[in-house]
Amino acid sequence: MATEGTTHHSRDILPEPTLHRLPWYLAYVSLLRAAGIEYVSSTQIARQINVDASMIAKDLSFLNIKGKTRIGYEVTSLEHVLQDFLGFKVGHNAVIIGVGSLGNSLIQDSGLTNYGLNIVAGFDIRPDLEGTSICGVPIYNIDELHRRLPALNASIGIVTVPVERAQEVSDLAVKAGIKALWNFTPFRITAPKGIVIQNTSIYSHLAVMYNRLGAGNTK
Ligand SMILES: NC(=O)c1ccc[n+]([C@@H]2O[C@H](COP(=O)([O-])OP(=O)(O)OC[C@H]3O[C@@H](n4cnc5c(N)ncnc54)[C@H](O)[C@@H]3O)[C@@H](O)[C@H]2O)c1
């Protein structure tokens, strides 16, 4: 095996599929670190997570890390470099818009902080929620979003309202100063140029799964 990867240092042009795969490598490498394993090669990662070894080496070449010939990457360093590169070490403040069933679960999901996401407040229209808190996270009326956002220092809005409200609350959030929208509703929201949108509909994944099941192709 040759030296693992050449370094690119070109974060800006990182292809989206690579960005989707890097967290898989991180999850596996974290398991190895927890098991006390010191080195891992791209071939080993490939075997475990079923991604081509050459693709893994190419993906990792975007990071500021080099593997050693025959031994591979140092596990602890690779874990740190991946976490750092993916922005999981930096705290990103976010607000939840729509504190219903999903909004509640996300506020209670302590795992999100491991990925650098701090939920600092929730906003809803329900008067009974106003002034309450969930796991120490205060819940305010949606009308207060504009006024409260600067002090909350949050640039991310997590959209967990009923589907028919998705676009209107997104517009409101952008007007209030939100720079990125993580949308969990099935509606494909739009926003002005410069606003980052991440549409995360679990239902579209279901559609793919059903289709592949029907076609008898489980890949
Ligand atoms: N529940 C889940 O596990 C789940 C999973 C994936 C996606 N989703 C999607 O997430 C969205 C929310 O689902 P849910 O099950 O949490 O619904 P829910 O009805 O339990 O919660 C929606 C919340 O949004 C609030 N809301 C309504 N209009 C609002 C507005 N204009 N501003 C602020 N808050 C407002 C409601 O008062 C309510 O508390 C839906 O679009 C759903 O399709 C839900």
CATH number of the domain where residue 191 is located = 3.40.50.720
Determine whether the shortest distance from the Cβ of 188 to ligand 1 is under 6 A: no
Asked whether the predicted pLDDT for residue 98 surpasses 70, the reply is yes
- How many domains does one find in the chain? 2
pLDDT of 218 reads: 52
Nearest residue to 21 (alpha-carbon basis) of 74, 79, 86: 86
Among 9-23, 72-86, 100-114, 130-144, which is the least confidently predicted range? 9-23
| Same structural domain, 132 and 28 | no
Cα–Cα distance measured from residue 58 to residue 75, given in angstroms and rounded to the nearest whole number: 17
ipTM: 0.97
Question: pLDDT by residue (tens digit) across 10-47?
Answer: 456 688 899 999 999 999 999 999 999 999 999 999 99
pLDDT of 64 reads: 85
CA angle, residues 156, 158, 164, in degrees to nearest 5: 135
| Same structural domain, 99 and 46 | no
Determine whether the shortest distance from the Cβ of 17 to ligand 1 is under 6 A: no
Give 129 or 2, the one with higher predicted confidence. 129
* CA-proximal residue: ligand 1, atom 1 (nearest): 102
Determine whether the shortest distance from the Cβ of 165 to ligand 1 is under 6 A: yes
Q: Which of 95, 102, 132, 169 best tests ligand 1's pocket when mutated (most atoms within 8 Å of CB)?
A: 102
Q: pLDDT-derived band of residue 5, with 50, 70 and 90 as boundaries?
A: very low
pLDDT of 9 reads: 47
| Same structural domain, 78 and 132 | no
Percent of the chain with pLDDT over 90: 79
Nearest residue to 84 (alpha-carbon basis) of 29, 127, 130: 29
Q: Which domain holds residue 50?
A: 11-85
Determine whether the shortest distance from the Cβ of 144 to ligand 1 is under 6 A: no
Asked whether the beta carbons of 67 and 73 are under 8 A apart, the reply is yes
